[in-house]
Amino acid sequence: MKHYPILFALTIMFFYVSACGTTAPDDAKPVTYEPEMTAEQENPFFQPSELPFEAPDFTVITNEHYLPALLAGMEQQMQEIEAIASQSEEPTFENTIVAMELSGEILTRVQRVFSNMSSAHTNETIQQVQAELAPKFAAHSDNIYLNSELFERVRTLYENKSDLGLDAEAERLIDRYFERFVRAGAMLSDEEQEKIREINSEMSSLATQWSQNMLAITRERAVIVDDVALLDGMSQGAIAAAKEAAEQRGHTGKYLLNITNTTRQPILTSLNNSEMRQRVWEASAHRGIGENGGIDNRDMILRIAEIRAKRAEIMGYNNFAEFALEVNAAQHPDAAYEMLTDMVPAVWANVQEEAEQIRDMMQRLGHDHELEAWDWEYYAEKVRAEKFDIDPDEVRAYFELDRVLKAGVFYAMERFYGITFEERFDLPVYHEDVRVFSVFDRDGEQLGLFYGDFFSRDSKRGGAWMSSYMVQNHLLEQKPVVINVLNISPPAEGEPALVSFANVTTLFHEMGHAVHGLFSDVTYPSLAGTAVPRDFVEFPSTFEEDWAIHPEVLANYARHYETGETIPQELLERVLAAQNFNMGFNTYEYVAAALLDLDWHTLSSDEIPTDVLAFEAESLARHNVDFAAAPPRYKTSYFNHIWPGGYSAQYYAYIWSEIFAADAFAYIQERGGLTRENGDHYREHILSRGGTAEPMELYRNFRGGEPSVDPLLRRRGILD
């Protein structure tokens, strides 16, 4: 997946509290704020880092620095905001909009580090800070966007922006600020604003509780195996890694299988024991429902759904989905519903064809039981192996992580964009697994820094995402510092990190987000990089995925980890031919989850059900996506994309963005494919522009027209 990180309660400002800076135009009038501190209380967040591009200095940052820096950062920004709002001068672009862009220097600096740490390498102290500050951050955001004096200044500029002599990007920034204030409730009555404040405070606490629950559930639902014979089918390396993981948790002599992000679990393709597969699948699918006295998310889900609906109603919308999608490319939930439901018949037909192939395989192997959810991927892999003669372990041998990264992902970026990556070992990191690279542009100038954190661990939440420690902007002449975080299963000590082709695709996907940040070329921080609507942000990342199967790129990185031999052409052809196999299942499980998300968020506050599981079952049945053998990618009780924030009512965005990505990639192939000319064209019109224009305007300028859905259907094998 993924995309930039879902922002949990600590970082939820609801409407993009702006980035920070250190200097400003003469009439921007920022307040100079210096936190009081003694030598013993020095905090590294109170001053810019002295490392290249102000990268975080993890040699001096400790857990104890976060709370005081976050509190001081809020205090600093509120002083600055109050000074902007109360000044006697008439509002100008510089003394109001730019001044807000420059506010909150300390807060922005510490939040960017803390946000990623709370997801990628959390601990008890960080979680305590999250819980304590969540409602304070909600109140802080409200104190900015519900400040009536400040809003009047913004509204004056918005209503007169055509007379200010500004360029298009500056006018766009005024539009964005006006939109933030209005969507925060600036035009509501005092009584309504007070209700909004109460809801925001509660929502921030619930979001923090959710994120901490999900981290705990990862440990809770791990499957402990006593007998190695039950792991028959797993590779020796995977078994060794499971034993090592168990020992790290104190289960000496046993084996631990972690439950990862989605309902399906990668290990299900390997386990020969049916009861073991069922045990793993149920550990995944029953997360968050209090099974056997475990963590139960259901009451929290119902409350989040209710207060989101109430908030939308106060704002004048029928439901939360209408509110959320208004600023997206889709604009209204009806458009998202139409796209998804129109796909169901063709996808269902594909799923049925795949199911028949799987049932036939089961019968030929002498297994006459009903096809179950925990059987699908196991037998589908056997169909794939027979149909395309593929052994997953044989294929993994050609995908060693470091080679995939350097000779695959980095190679494609160099061929297409002319950029290069040089690993550095002099910059500090927050965990020994994290790697750092300098990124150099086509002219040799350094673009910024790229961090990679690829392996799963107990302190990291599931999924994959991109974050920024610094965003590019010309206002302060700052360059980007970005990080990609994944959850690849670590190899046993001394073993090579051989990855699945799904992991390969994720590496390319997340690099798409990274270059969206690295290539940003805008003036204002709030419009930089990935600051685009949710249903457009996955376009650049999905676009990069297809370079993973480009013949030239594949031939460069798909080499045997022991012999260095290039993957045999005949095997490569089978691997590529197999990519669309099981695509009906892949699409079906995604569409089911996206429809489930929309159904939860198109409820009014008086329609919230009392039974989470019953509502889920009814929703899936109504949309004809209730095939038990192919369950939703995420069930309600662990749908991490939607409940803490992030993709609420917007999980459809992945496939909406994929329409852009598939059409763009097809267009690039028509123009000659992997060439610098094409890369420069795409970079100029999409990646460098950030949020400086409406998404469809950017796309038309790139493509010369709007996207067609046919390349998406071909990409997914639904059309020939």
**Secondary structure, 3-state, 158-227:** HHCHHHCCCCHHHHHHHHHHHHHHHHHCCCCCHHHHHHHHHHHHHHHHHHHHHHHHHHHHHHHCCEEECC
Please compute the mean of the pLDDT values over residues 313-328 and round it to a whole number.
97
Place of tokens 């007379």: 163
Tens-digit pLDDT profile for residues 469-500 = 999 999 999 999 999 999 999 999 999 999 99
Question: Is 357 a residue whose pLDDT tops 50?
Answer: yes
Please compute the mean of the pLDDT values over residues 513-534 and round it to a whole number.
97
Please compute the mean of the pLDDT values over residues 557-579 and round it to a whole number.
90
Please compute the mean of the pLDDT values over residues 557-567 and round it to a whole number.
95
**pLDDT on residue 212:** 92
For the ranges 11-15, 109-113, 335-339, 709-713, the lowest mean pLDDT is seen at 11-15
3-state secondary structure of 418: coil
Place of tokens 């149909």: 387
Place of tokens 């290249």: 52
Place of tokens 């028509």: 670
Burial profile 669-683: b = 16 or more Cβ within 10 angstroms, e = fewer: eeeeebeeebbeebb
- State which H helix or E strand residue 423 sits in: strand 420-424
CA gap 629, 624 in Å, rounded:
13
Query: With bands split at pLDDT 50, 70 and 90, how would you rate the model's confidence at 40?
Result: very low
Domains of the chain plus CATH, in order, are 26-215 (1.10.1370.40), 221-285 (no CATH), 298-395+582-651 (1.10.1370.10)
**pLDDT on residue 14:** 31
Q: Indicate if 510 belongs to the active site.
A: yes
Q: Where are the alpha helices (H) located in 420-568, listed in sequence order?
A: 501-518, 534-545, 551-557
Q: CB 611: neighbour CB atoms within 10 A? A: 11
* Average of per-residue pLDDT values in the chain: 92
Question: Is 332 a residue whose pLDDT tops 60?
Answer: yes
Q: How far is CA 155 from CA 150, 180, 186, 315, in A?
A: 9, 11, 10, 18
Residues 658/659/662/667 CA torsion (nearest 10 deg): -140
Q: CB 54: neighbour CB atoms within 10 A? A: 18
Strand 481-488 and strand 446-455: pairing? parallel
CA gap 246, 255 in Å, rounded:
5
**pLDDT on residue 24:** 36
**pLDDT on residue 192:** 98
Residues 111/115/118/120 CA torsion (nearest 10 deg): -130
Query: With bands split at pLDDT 50, 70 and 90, how would you rate the model's confidence at 34?
Result: low
Question: Is 329 a residue whose pLDDT tops 60?
Answer: yes
Q: How far is CA 670 from CA 662, 675, 703, 717, in A?
A: 12, 12, 11, 19
CA gap 79, 99 in Å, rounded:
12
Active-site entry in 80, 322, 510, 544: 510
| Cβ proximity of 717 and 583 under 8 Å | yes
Tens-digit pLDDT profile for residues 658-700 = 999 999 999 999 999 999 999 999 999 999 999 999 999 999 9
Q: Which of 2, 182, 715, 629 is nearest to 375 (CA)?
A: 629
| Cβ proximity of 709 and 661 under 8 Å | no
3-state secondary structure of 488: strand
In this prediction, what percent of the chain has a pLDDT beyond 70? 94
| Cβ proximity of 592 and 651 under 8 Å | no
CA gap 79, 135 in Å, rounded:
19
**pLDDT on residue 261:** 85
**pLDDT on residue 169:** 98
CA gap 545, 507 in Å, rounded:
8
Query: With bands split at pLDDT 50, 70 and 90, how would you rate the model's confidence at 144?
Result: very high
Phi, psi for 693 (deg, rounded to 5) = -150, 170
Please compute the mean of the pLDDT values over residues 596-624 and round it to a whole number.
98
Please compute the mean of the pLDDT values over residues 50-70 and round it to a whole number.
97
Tens-digit pLDDT profile for residues 213-260 = 998 998 899 999 999 999 999 999 899 999 999 999 999 999 999 998
Q: What does the DSSP 8-state code read for residue 432?
A: T
